[in-house]
Structures are given as structure tokens and as C-alpha cells.
Chain A
Amino acid sequence: MEKMVNIFLFGKKYEVPENLTIMTAMEYAGYQLVRGCGCRNGFCGACATIYRIKGDKELKACLACQTKVEDNMYIATLPFFPLVKQVYDIETVPVTESVMMQLYPEIYACIGCNACTKSCTQELNVMQYIAYAQRGDFEKCAEESFDCVMCGVCSSRCPAGISHPQVAMLARRINGKYLAPGCGHLEDRVKEIKNGDFNELIEALMEKPIDEMKELYNNRDIEK
């Protein structure tokens, strides 16, 4: 017989097997999820959840699909949080720290409480990547924030009203487009294809009988 634990979904008590995640426990309890459920694998950030274990002062945040239930866990899901996403044109966006001043000036109101970092469901150093953004160090901000799933828990805890995931998104796109080194072999290949350099090779493959294709495939050399 599997061991059962008591959990409280939005304050209401349910008894569920202890080996379930919060998400599967909700389903076990009878919820047909529409909100707060996406990839079920820790990548999409749909299932941000806050909880407190009875008697514990600390309020914790997690992804419901990645976290096991515990006895006396009080659970509230946070399927949507009103993040601010500013609209910009990636082709003309300024690649200086002034862009942050223009689009997300509230990052300069950070009081350094570190609540964002403490609440991050991905254990990222959120306050640090915001500090990089303040300085216009997009590369470091991009790197530090890379594993962000944009669940929004950090922003829900921020007294300065910062939309951290959107700030990081902007930094990553600027870094990817403007600051990362260009790629010569990619540009060359695109030009060669446009120039028709491979047309003959491809056309030959379009008509080749299946037997010859098999021959070609089964005897191709494979890079070590």
C-alpha cells in the first residue's frame, strides 16, 4: 500500500499518494487542468506554484510538474502573472544600456532585497542578472538568465515591480543578434546555396532510383 500525505489545494484538504508531483496530485484529486499546465517537463513555466509547509514560516515557489508533494503542504498555483512586456523592433533597438532605461526603467528601482533570487524556480541568480542589465552588460545578463522558463514567480515577489524574465529576454536577443560573434561558415553556405552551387547534387538525388539511394546511404562515410 502506497503511503498517503495530506495536501491543501487552495486551502482544501486532499489525501494523495506521496510519490506524486503537485501537478499529478491535483489530477489525482480530480482537477482537469486547463490553466497552469503546459509541457509537464520543466521547460515552459506554465505551472508556477507557491506553497508553504504547515508550521514553516518560509513561503516557497516551484514548478508544479517538477516538485513532489509533502505532508501538510498548502498549495496555490500561479498560472498567470501580469508581467510587463515592452514592444520593440529588434532591427533598430539601441545596443546600449539606454535601452533598459527606455523600456524597463523600473530595474533601476531595485532595492536589492534578493526576493527574486530566493524565489526562482530554476535557482537562478535573478538579482545578479538584473544588476548586469542595469549596467548594460547584456552578455553576462544573457548567460546568467539563460535557464529562465519565464514562470514569473520572481516578479510576483518583487517590491520594485520589475518584470525580470522580460528584461532577460531582451538582453538575450540583443546578445544573440548583435554581440555574439558572427558566423563565417554559415554566411558562406547561405550564399553558396543561393548561388545554386548545390543544385546539381540535389537534382541528381531527386531522380535516383531507391536501390541506388540505398547503396549511397549504406556506404556513406561517417565523420568520427
Chain B
Amino acid sequence: MYSEKFQKSLALVEAAREKNIALEPDRMTAKQKEDLLAAFHPDYKKDEFQELKIGPNKGEKVPTELAEILQAHSRISASSIDLENPDYETDVLIIGGGGAGSSAAIEADNAGAKVMIVTKLRIGDANTMMAEGGIQAADKPNDSPATHFVDAFGGGHFAAKRELLSQLVCNAPEAIQWLSNLGVEFDKTEDGTMVTTHGGGTSRKRMHAAKDYSGAEIMRTLRDEVLNRNIPVIDFTAAIELILDENGRAAGAVLMNMETKELMVAKAKTVIIATGGAGRMHYQGFPTSNHYGATADGLVLGYRVGAKLLYAETLQYHPTGVAFPEQIFGALVTEKVRSLGAKLVNVNGEVFMHPLETRDVSAASIIRECSERGNGVDTGNGLGVWLDTPMIEEIGGEGTIMSRIPAMWRMFAKYGIDIRKEPILVYPTLHYQNGGLDINPDCMTTNVENLFVAGEAVGGIHGKNRLMGNSLLDIIVFGRIAGQSAGAKCKDVTVGKLTLDHIEKFEAEIGKAGIDTEKVSPVLLPDYTRRK
């Protein structure tokens, strides 16, 4: 139930609904999109970025908040750590217990390696768990990996590393099959055909889903499998510094118990960073759809030992974060809501764009509607536009919402809003880190040997913007590749003497560059105490 102040606009939305359902809005031209992004997308706001003064990406610009933690002090000094007596020794050390880390663990285990996962929260506390809409794979007769490639390459502004993108699209059907064989319940028709829909920027309907719990269903299945294999999961334990060996190769990590603060050493033949994204850094003050631990830790760990970043200046703002009610401000409203037919409508009840443009374009368009055009709805806590969810029931028939997006219904029902009957208010929310550590197709970083990366911490797979459903796909495809590569590589590795010398070298660089900071990193968790 919306209060009195929303009723006038709501009446306009309802009055125009029939007409708006029938309307087929034009898609924007390439030029229109370019101009829109330049004027309204947060990635283009120059004063929100800062040039890196040290490290492998010196001279490049990244979000100010990221620059601060990439150029911050270590949480430890090398002299306080005993590297001679490691607390753990393993073949493959995986940092992060989300979808990428868990997939990597299963494949490294298949390769016969001794594997261990460390995670600062619990296994499954990850953005994977929250991915609602689905996972792409070109497995229908009218589709092909090449078509998928073109969609993703264009959607990412022609910036993806093609050797990574081809891996993504060519391994996609097998990834779905692998998950199915683990017991993931994809939405299918009675004859086994996958129920697939469009996502923003797709040219074929290739979005596979498990209702709107797609990521949760995948994550809980992977977690169950990791536990069935008795792979050790050291939870509430963060990696706070990588360890190299005397030959400059990744060889473990310094760990910290999140509760007791005890420090420990893990020695490993290969290390996989699968630490996920950065939404909780709240770039440019945006709310986020990300889980509590999304603080770019992997980028910091990698950067400090000299691993290169790629496209760290590009973030994805999901067009439809919750704008109202305040209690769930910034939470994700899955793109699937638009895939199922709901359109974006302004304060006057007008459809102002095609609902399935790519995410960056959609976000910029909503920001323009609420700023320059003055057509936003005042929520009492900022502005938003309507996402007309009752259209879904009219188009797909009564019951569509409960069978296809029950989590969305539940989230709003808790606050007295029945999305079957009333539209919802949305505004862009910080959703995804497009950039990350630079890797080769085998997932090893381009310049630190035995250091592998998978999942959201990787840069370059998607270019400068990511399509819906390609992230769940990338954590599975590259999680598996990382596990296979690291599991194979460790057989030929003899670890040299362990060292943390890089900490002192990095400190010296900070001093030399005249960076005056008291910040330490990785951040690990955001601080929300004493805040509303």
C-alpha cells in the first residue's frame, strides 16, 4: 500500500497501463546510447575518479574509493609473521567461498589436488547467492556461441578480451550441463526444454533460471557438493596478505580469524583469488545490491604483489535497485521482471525507454529521467521511476509472478506492497565490478606466476559493461577453469622460501609517491555502526 503522496502518479500509471502494454518502444541508436552514457552514467563523472600513483597500473584512473584502498597500508608488518611454521599446507589455496571459489574447489579436487577454501564469512555468503535473474548459455537451436559472443562483446563496448570471451560463450552450455548433473533445478517445460527469456542486450532468449532464486539454487548446490567432498572450508577467516616465494611466485596467504583476530599462515603451491566484487565500497555514494563482504579485497591483495588490473574504472550500476521502501533501499529488483514484460514508467505514467536496453544504458536513462527531465517520483528518500509489475500478470496470465519471481513478491509483500497489483519504485544501485585482475585464458594472472583469479575479481571477460546472466555464467566457467589449471599446475611446483618482502617494497613506494594516508586494506567489512 502506497501512502497518499504517491496516489496521483499511481493513478496515471494505472490509467495508461493498457496502452503501455501494447506499446513497443524504439530501441536507441548507437549514437543516442553514446551520448546518454557520456552525460548520465556514473562511470563518466570525471571528478569521482583518481589517478593511481603507484603499482602496476600507475597513471590510470580508478574510482576514488578504490584508489584509496589500493594505495593503503598493509594490515601487518612482515616481521610479525612466522613464515617458517605454516598453520596450513595445501596444493591449492582458494580465497573466497562464493560460486567461483566453490566451482574451482570442485574441479581442483577432481584434478586430484589437495584443496582448501578460506572465506571471511561463511561459504555461500557471496553475490552468487543473490543473483536472481539467471544464467546465459546459447543452447537453443536458433542460437549459437557466436551470437552470444557478439551480444556480449557489443554490450561490453567492444572492450572484452576476446580470448576470455570466447571461453565464456563456448563453455556455457557445458556449464549448464555440469550444474544440472550436480542437481541444480533449472526451469524446464515438461519435455525438458529449458525455459529461457531475454535479458537486456541479448538477441536470443538464452537466460536460464531457477525461478528468481537462480544464484541461490546454484550456490547451495555447489556448497553441498564441496561439503560432500570433505574439502576443508575455513570460515570466518580472511586472507589479508598474499605470500610469495623467493622466486616471486604466489605461495600462500596470511590469514586472520575475523572473530579472534588470530593471524595464521597458509602455504600453497597455487593460489586462486575468488573474492568477488566491491559494492560495499559504495562508489559515488550509491547504495548496493551486493552482499556484506563485497569490498574488493582480491584486487587489493593482487595489486600489492604486483598483479595488473584491467578496467577497474568501470562499474555496473544495476538499473533497477529498490528506491522504496527505505528498509530495502538499494536491494536488487531482478532484470527478469523486465524480461517478463514489466516496463519502466515515469511520474506521468509514460514509458520512457525500451525496457531491455543494456544495463549501463538503462541506468543512465533512469538517471536522466529523474534529473534533467524532472520526471522522477519523489520517494521521500530520493527519486525513482515506476517499474510496472502488474503488466506481468496481464501479459503472462494470473499467477505468473508467483511462479516465476516469488522472491520479488516476497520482498515487497513484507512491506505491504503486492507487486501483482501495484507497481514498484526503482533507481540504479551499485551492482557489479566489471574490471578486476588481468588474467590469461587459463585464469593465471598475466604477471604473477601461480596466482589465479576467477569470478567477479577478474577483469576483461565482459569488457566495460556486463550483460545480465553472464556473471553467473562466468563464475562457473572460469571457476572451473581456475580449479583445473591450478590443480594441474601445482603438480609441477616446488615452493621456494616464503617471503612477505613485498609489503616493505610497497610501503616504500607509498612514501616515495608522497601518499599521506592512514587507511589500511583489505577493507574486509564495511562499517555501518551508528548509521541509519
Contact = CB atoms under 8 A, between A and B. Distances in A.
B145 A222 contact: no
A98 interface: no
A135 interface: no
Contacts of A89: 228
Nearest to B328: A41
Contacts of B45: none
B150 interface: yes
Interface string A28-71: 10111111011111111010000000000000000000111000
A190 interface: yes
Contacts of B433: none
B220 A186 contact: no
B122 A38 contact: yes
Interface stretch (B48-56, B180-188, B342-350): B180-188
Interface in B1-38: 30
Contacts of A169: 220, 224
A102 to B, nearest CB: 15
B529 A31 contact: yes
A193 B532 contact: no
B286 interface: no
Contact of B289 (A28, A33, A41, A213): A41
A203 B163 CA distance: 10
Contacts of A20: 327, 532
A190 B154 contact: no
In this complex, which of A34, A68, A122 has the most chain B Cβ atoms within 10 angstroms of its Cβ?
A: A34
Nearest to A178: B183
A32 B191 CA distance: 50
Interface stretch (A4-12, A110-118, A142-150, A154-162): A142-150
A182 interface: yes
Given A90-B228, A190-B174, A221-B203, A43 B216 contact: yes
Interface stretch (B136-144, B390-398, B515-523): B136-144
Contacts of B125: 38-39, 44, 46
Given A38-B125, A43-B407, A147-B407, A190 B173 contact: yes
A147 B331 CA distance: 18
Nearest to B162: A206
Interface string A173-195: 11111001111111101100100
B302 interface: no
In this complex, which of B154, B194, B230, B259 has the most chain A Cβ atoms within 10 angstroms of its Cβ?
A: B154
A85 B530 contact: no
A187 B173 CA distance: 8
Given A186-B180, A187-B177, A150 B220 contact: yes
A87 B532 contact: no
A172 B192 contact: no
B193 A185 contact: yes
Contacts of B147: 220
Contacts, number: 224
B129 interface: yes
Nearest to A85: B227
Contacts of B184: 176
Interface in B294-324: none
A196 to B, nearest CB: 10
Contacts of A43: 129-130, 213, 215-216, 407
A136 interface: no
A193 B191 contact: no
B124 A198 contact: no
B510 to A, nearest CB: 27
Contact of A198 (B144, B198, B216, B221): B144
B343 to A, nearest CB: 16
B496 interface: no
Contacts of A180: 180, 185-186, 188, 192
Contacts of B153: 205, 213, 217
Contacts of B144: 198, 201
B511 interface: no
Contact of B180 (A28, A172, A176): A176
Interface of B: 30, 121-122, 124-125, 129-130, 137-142, 144-147, 149-151, 153-154, 158, 162-163, 166, 169-170, 173-174, 176-177, 180-186, 188, 190-194, 198, 203-205, 211, 213, 215-217, 220-221, 224-225, 227-228, 230, 236, 258-259, 289, 291-292, 326-328, 331-332, 406-407, 410-411, 414, 525, 527-532
- What 4 A-B pairs come out closest when comparing CB atoms? A173-B183, A217-B154, A181-B192, A201-B146
Given A38-B125, A38-B292, 16 more contacts: A32-B529, A33-B528, A34-B236, A43-B213, A44-B125, A90-B183, A169-B220, A173-B221, A176-B184, A180-B192, A185-B141, A198-B144, A202-B166, A205-B146, A220-B147, A222-B203
Interface of A: 17, 19-21, 24, 27-28, 30-35, 37-44, 46, 66-68, 85, 87-90, 122-123, 142, 146-147, 149-150, 169, 172-177, 180-187, 189-190, 193, 198, 201-202, 204-206, 210, 213-214, 216-218, 220-223
14 contacts: A19-B326, A27-B529, A27-B530, A28-B530, A35-B236, A38-B292, A41-B411, A44-B216, A173-B221, A175-B185, A186-B139, A202-B166, A202-B170, A210-B158
